[in-house]
Every structure is written in C-alpha cells, then in structure tokens.
C-alpha cells in the first residue's frame, strides 16, 4: 500500500504556511510544522491541532540539531520560514540576514544528506527596482545601495535562490524555487503594512483608507487558495526541479482602484480615501515600486496554472474573515 508522505513545513504557523498545511492535511499527508512564532501565530493553526496527522514544534530553522532531527523524518520540505516584510528589516538587518540566508542554508544542507525534495519560497522582492513589466524569472535586476537596509530582504532572498540552484547543480538535491508575488487572503495581518488587510480593516472600522503616495502604483494580488494549490503541484512537478518559477496573478490594479473596490465591497461608503505622502508613510530610505507584475507564462506551462479566485472574490473572503473576528 502506498504510504502517505510526511511533510515538513517551516514557517507553517504563518499566513501562507497555515493555509498550505490545511491543504496538505486535506490531501491525507502527515504534516510537521516548525515555526519560531516570530511573525507566525498559534491562532493560525489552533484549529488543526485536533488532527492526529498534524504536529507543531516551536523552534528555529537556525537550530541545526532540531533541523537535522526533523528533516531525517520527512519525505518533503516546504521551506517558508523567513523574517518577512521589507519593513521588518529596516534598522535591524542582522536578524533577517541570518534567518533568511543561514537558516535556508541549514535546511538545504540537511535536505541534501538524503536528497529530500524541497520547495524554497522566494519573493517578488528579488526582482529589484527595474520597471520591467511583466517580470520574468531570468530577467536582470537592479538593487539600491548597500547602505540602504531596504534592500536587505531582496538580497537575502536572492542569495536563497542562488543557494537553491547551487544545491541542485552541485549536490543533485531536488529543489523547486518559487517566487511569490503579493499573496492575499484570510489570516494575513496588516501589522507589517500589507495593503489589502489594512484597507479591509480600515473600511470595516469606518476609518479613513490610507493610500500611500499618489495611489497610481500598481500590484497584482493572488488569492491564497490558488497559491497553495499551485505550491503543492509545483512540489511534485518534475519540470519545476532546478528552476525558479513565478507564482502570482497578472491582473494589475492600481492602489487607488483597490481602495475604491474595498470600500465598495465592504458596503461602507462613509470611509474616506486619504492620501499619505511617502515621507510620512515610510521610514527614511524606503523606496516603493511603481509597478509589479509577474510574468506567469512559465508556471502556466509547468503545472497548467489557472488561477480560479478573482480579486473581488478574494477581497470578499478577507472581508468575511475580519467581519467574523
């Protein structure tokens, strides 16, 4: 009889991780989550604790003994643990550099001992500041000065991609690298400034909706449900091994339009849309992107990726989540 796989999810108590764990459990897999709860939360996984196939360990990916012990036991690893958010890095880059580079190296090194299949979560941040639309996996990129911490996250995730590819080439470790572009859904907090949960909470509390800059900057938002389904498919797609693959939506919307949409969908027309100058919104040295659009032709070919949750439906689900809280 075919044995169900045992899967390790690092960062499994986070927003993306907790949704991924749900999907894996639903597929009958046994899941071990390791999370240091720095930005992840027990609340995100509370409802999974009654499932006997689910195991949670509070710990750090920097703990080599723990990682060695856990990785020995599993068939697959989703490596999602990271210091998240560009703004978390400002002023204290060391923790991000160590976690996002050294932590990933520890996980890769342990995986390589048994050639355990691993999916590394990367970020659209690695695309840098080029106005290269849509951004392809192989495109060149430009980063800001080494004295500006704003670029630490982009560099670190870029090093993770290099590390993943090097382990694939030199150690024959089966690695899948996925660049995530603006994923949204329930459980994402606005704490780190993310725009959709922030707008939803502002509209629901009938407060002003804070658009930064002129609001003409654009993003593409991908629904968490589409994203986790794609992650599970990418994990087993032979043609994704040794590759970096973009994962996101290519439906582009300005932040102005987004604010209006959220306002309309909450039914709260009394919320005012206000404009906050970048200087007030962000600490010194922060640079925003004008546009960010992934080229998703590769993932369409690799796993026949067809996102099924549109932006409105996705926002409605987030509104429902915050309404019930």
State the first-to-last Cα distance of the chain, in angstroms, to the nearest integer: 43
Q: Is 278 one of the annotated active-site residues of the chain?
A: no
In the complex, least distance from residue 160 CB atom to ligand UDP, rounded to whole angstroms: 17
195-214 mask for ligand UDP (x: CB under 6 A)? x--x-----------xxx--
Q: Using the rule CB under 6 A, is 155 a contact of ligand UDP? A: no
> Which range touches ligand UDP (CB under 6 A), out of 4-12, 65-73, 190-198, 309-317?
190-198
- Between residues 154 and 173, which has the closer beta carbon with respect to ligand UDP? 154
- Cβ(132)–Cβ(124) below 8 Å: no
- Between residues 76 and 124, which has the closer beta carbon with respect to ligand UDP? 124
Q: Using the rule CB under 6 A, is 255 a contact of ligand UDP? A: yes
Mapped onto helix, strand or coil, the DSSP state of residue 302 is helix
Q: What sign results for the dihedral spanned by CA atoms 266, 316, 245, 55?
A: positive
Structure tokens at 39: 């930005």
- Between residues 46 and 130, which has the closer beta carbon with respect to ligand UDP? 130
Instruction: Out of 153, 167, 282, 305, pick the active-site residue.
Output: 153
In the complex, least distance from residue 143 CB atom to ligand UDP, rounded to whole angstroms: 15
Q: Using the rule CB under 6 A, is 182 a contact of ligand UDP? A: yes
- Between residues 250 and 288, which has the closer beta carbon with respect to ligand UDP? 288
Distance separating alpha carbons of residues 267 and 289, to the nearest angstrom: 29
- Cβ(63)–Cβ(39) below 8 Å: no
Size of the site for ligand UDP (CB under 6 A): 13
Closest residue by Cα to residue 309 from 231, 228, 245: 228
Distance separating alpha carbons of residues 290 and 292, to the nearest angstrom: 7
Residues 6+ apart with CB under 8 A from 26: none
Please report, as ranges, the residues that interact with ligand UDP according to CB under 6 A.
Answer: 182, 193-195, 198, 210-212, 217, 219, 255, 288, 292
């Amino acid at each position: 009889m075919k044995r169900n796989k045992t899967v390790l999810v690092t960062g499994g108590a986070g927003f993306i991780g907790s949704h991924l764990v749900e999907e894996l459990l639903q597929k009958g897999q046994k899941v071990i989550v390791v999370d240091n709860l720095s930005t992840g939360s027990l609340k995100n996984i509370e409802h999974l604790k009654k499932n006997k196939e689910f195991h949670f360990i509070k710990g750090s990916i920097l703990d080599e003994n723990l990682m060695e012990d856990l990785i020995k036991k599993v068939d697959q690893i989703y490596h999602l643990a990271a210091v998240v958010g560009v703004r978390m890095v400002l002023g204290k880059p060391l923790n991000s550099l160590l976690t996002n580079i050294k932590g990933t190296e520890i996980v890769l090194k342990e995986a390589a001992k048994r050639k355990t299949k691993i999916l590394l979560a990367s970020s659209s941040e690695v695309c840098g500041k080029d106005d290269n639309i849509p951004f392809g996996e192989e495109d060149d990129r430009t980063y800001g000065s080494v004295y500006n911490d704003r670029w630490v996250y982009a560099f670190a995730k870029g090093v993770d991609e290099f590390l993943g590819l090097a382990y694939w080439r030199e150690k024959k470790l089966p690695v899948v690298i996925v660049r995530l572009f603006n994923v949204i859904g329930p459980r994402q907090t606005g704490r780190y400034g993310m725009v959709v949960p922030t707008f939803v909470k502002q509209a629901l509390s009938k407060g002003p909706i804070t658009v930064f800059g002129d609001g003409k900057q654009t993003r593409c938002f991908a629904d968490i449900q589409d994203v986790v389904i794609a992650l599970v498919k990418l994990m087993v797609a032979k043609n994704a091994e040794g590759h970096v693959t973009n994962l996101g939506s290519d439906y582009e919307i300005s932040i102005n339009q987004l604010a209006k949409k959220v306002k309309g969908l909450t039914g709260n027309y009394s919320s005012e849309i206000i404009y906050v100058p970048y200087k007030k919104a962000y600490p010194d040295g922060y640079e925003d992107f004008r546009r960010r659009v992934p080229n998703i032709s590769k993932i369409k070919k690799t796993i026949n990726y067809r996102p099924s949750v549109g932006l409105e439906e996705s926002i409605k689900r987030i509104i429902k989540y915050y309404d019930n809280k």
